[in-house]
Amino acid sequence: MSDTLVENVGAVVTGDLETPLRHVDNIYIRNGVIEEFDSETTTADTVVDAKGTTVAPGLIDGHVHPVSGGFTPRQNTLGWTESYLQSGVTSMVSAGEIHQPGRPKDAAGTKALAVLNKKSFENERPGGVKMHAGTLVLTDDLDVSDIDDVHAEGVDHTKIIFPLSDLDHAAALVARAKELGMTTMMHCGGASVPGTQPIGEEMFRAIEPDIALHFNGGPTAIPDEERHALVEDTDLDVELVVAGNQRTSVETLETMMARGELDRVQIATDTPTGTGVVPCGMWLEAGILASMTDVSAGDVLCLMTGTPAAHNDLDTGVLAEGRPADLCVLDAPLGSVGDDALAAIENGDYPSVSAVLVDGDVLVEGSRNTGPAKNPAEVV
């Protein structure tokens, strides 16, 4: 048995929009799981002194494009996943392994690629990040039986990035995926790479996927009137990304807040892509949204943790007893006008990441990607 005690905790961001903040003195972790808040335990194998700063769930980047471990050929970069971990990202969801060199486009090859990535990333966490990969890219060549085949091998996500020529066929594939409990994501907005076409309101209404990826554009946003119609007339979950149109991102979040539907929103990066490798991309988007809208930093953090967990059926993203102990210790960076991490984010600053834990193990002590904390956590 191994245990960890996170003590001298300030605010806790729960990841739950119903109660985004709570105050506890400590968090006791045993065998990788949060066992108790305000524990009477005073000793453990590992003790993290949070120095009165903020503890939040590890971030979930719900839109990444992995290829092989921590390598991306799109930017010819090694170790990108570990660098995101340094910024507090402990889980990622693949929106399709579309940058695979020579990516097969026939049904057999497409299925094989999804199964390969699903099983490969289950066996190896690149840089320590929990990578939920193996997303089946839907094409005209696939039929309903193909959905059944990959589901039997553990694949639980499908993705539409290339418009299918037969919308009825596409809708049938997505309907079958839903019947099996799979999550379907769909590209939203203008064409992003050669060979793609814009996808807008008409296709969303016809196909009815679960999540509209980069709803603020990836990188080009759909027309405002189409965006408003999809928000008002459907129950789509929507994603806001750093690799998109930020005017649209701000307006979408304000609309969702006014409607009382923040639980439909998740924040992600949509990287590595042409936008690059952006290790602090989640914090950049958080600072934009918390400083330019009336949505609190605590709620914005829930959109980076608990809501993507719910949209993608993950057990991470919420700090609660019985949940995996994936968390990060945050503070205002030196020089920020904010007194703590949440105030810094609401000022538009990145917070300082003092420590990152995955399954209760300290993987980062003092991030190399964020500024030094005013009150750095200490691991003893």
Domain end, chosen from 311, 336, 364, is at: 311
> Are 34 and 85 in a shared domain?
no
Of 188, 185, 174, 125, residue with least CA distance to 146 = 174
CATH number, domain containing residue 337:
2.30.40.10
> Are 306 and 326 in a shared domain?
no
Banded model confidence at residue 285, pLDDT cuts 50, 70, 90: very high
Phi and psi angles of residue 131, each rounded to the nearest 5 degrees, phi first: -95, 115
Give the model confidence (pLDDT) of 3-36 as tens digits: 999 999 999 999 999 999 999 999 999 999 999 9
Q: What share of the chain is helix, strand, coil (3-state, %, to 5)?
A: 30, 25, 45
Least confident of 16-20, 45-49, 159-163, 254-258: 159-163
> Are 53 and 91 in a shared domain?
no
Distances (CA, A) of 77 to 19, 67, 95, 139: 39, 11, 18, 28
CATH number, domain containing residue 305:
3.20.20.140
> Are 249 and 331 in a shared domain?
no
pLDDT at 379 over 90: yes
What's the CA gap between 336 and 64, in Å, rounded?
30
Average pLDDT over residues 227-251: 97
Residue written as token pair 């400083």: 291
How many other C-beta atoms lie within 10 A of the C-beta of residue 3? 18
* Domains: count for the chain: 2
> Are 50 and 118 in a shared domain?
no
Structural domain that includes position 222:
59-311
> Are 180 and 92 in a shared domain?
yes
Of 332, 366, 362, residue with least CA distance to 47 = 362
> Are 114 and 261 in a shared domain?
yes
How many other C-beta atoms lie within 10 A of the C-beta of residue 228? 14
> Are 69 and 200 in a shared domain?
yes
> What value does the mean pLDDT of the chain take?
96
60 in Cβ contact with 93 (< 8 Å):
yes
Domain end, chosen from 257, 289, 311, is at: 311
Strands of the sheet containing 130-132, edge to edge, are: 59-64, 89-94, 130-132
> Are 266 and 329 in a shared domain?
no
What is the pTM (predicted TM-score) of this model?
0.97
> Are 341 and 246 in a shared domain?
no
> Are 268 and 323 in a shared domain?
no
Average pLDDT over residues 175-203: 89
Give the model confidence (pLDDT) of 101-133 as tens digits: 999 999 999 999 999 999 999 999 999 999 999
Domain end, chosen from 258, 280, 311, is at: 311
> Are 26 and 76 in a shared domain?
no
Q: Which helix (H) or strand (E) holds 11?
A: strand 11-13
